[in-house]
Amino acid sequence: MSDLLSEGLNWLNGELLAWCGRSVTYRRALTGTEIPVTAVPGRSQVEVVEADRVTLLTTDRDFLIPAADLVEGGTPFLPQPGDRVIDGSHVFEVLAPAGADCWTYATNDELIRIHTKRIT
C-alpha cells in the first residue's frame, strides 16, 4: 500500500504550482545557463541569533521551484548564492541570509524554497 500522506502532499504541490505558479527563468551563476521553470513567489522570515539577541530578517522574495526542474545538462543541481531568478522585468539574486542556507526543502524534497533579493 502506498503512503497516502505522500500522495496527498504531491497532489497539493501540483495544485499549488498549477494555481499559483508562474513562468520564470533560473540562471546559473557558474555557467550562465538559463532554465525555464514554474515558480510560486513568496516571502519568509529567517531568525538569526547574534550575541544573545534574536533578529528577524525578511527575504525580499522567495521562490518555490520543483527540485526536478533544476537540471542542467541532465544533471540535477541545487541553488547556489549568485544564481538568479528572472521574473518578468525583475531580477532576483539567490542569497544566503545571515546564518542560514540560500535554500531549504519546502516539502518532501519535491519543492525547494529559494531565498532571493531583488537587484533590478
The pLDDT tens digits for 51-102 are: 677 665 666 799 999 999 999 999 999 999 999 999 999 999 999 877 789 9
- Model confidence pLDDT, tens digit, residues 8-24: 888 988 898 999 999 99
Please give the average per-residue pLDDT across 99-106, as a whole number. 88
The span from the CA of 21 to the CA of 14, in Å, is: 10
Q: In this predicted model, which residue has the larger pLDDT, 2 or 114?
A: 114
For the 4-118 domain, the top CATH level (class) is: mainly beta
Helix extents (H) in 42-110: none
Classified as helix, coil or strand, 19 is helix
pLDDT of 1 higher than 60: no
- Where do the structural domains in the chain lie, given as residue ranges? 4-118
Residues 6+ apart with CB under 8 A from 51: none
- Cα–Cα nearest to 46, from 1, 108, 113: 113
* pTM, 2 dp: 0.85
Going by pLDDT thresholds of 50, 70 and 90, the confidence category of residue 105 is: very high
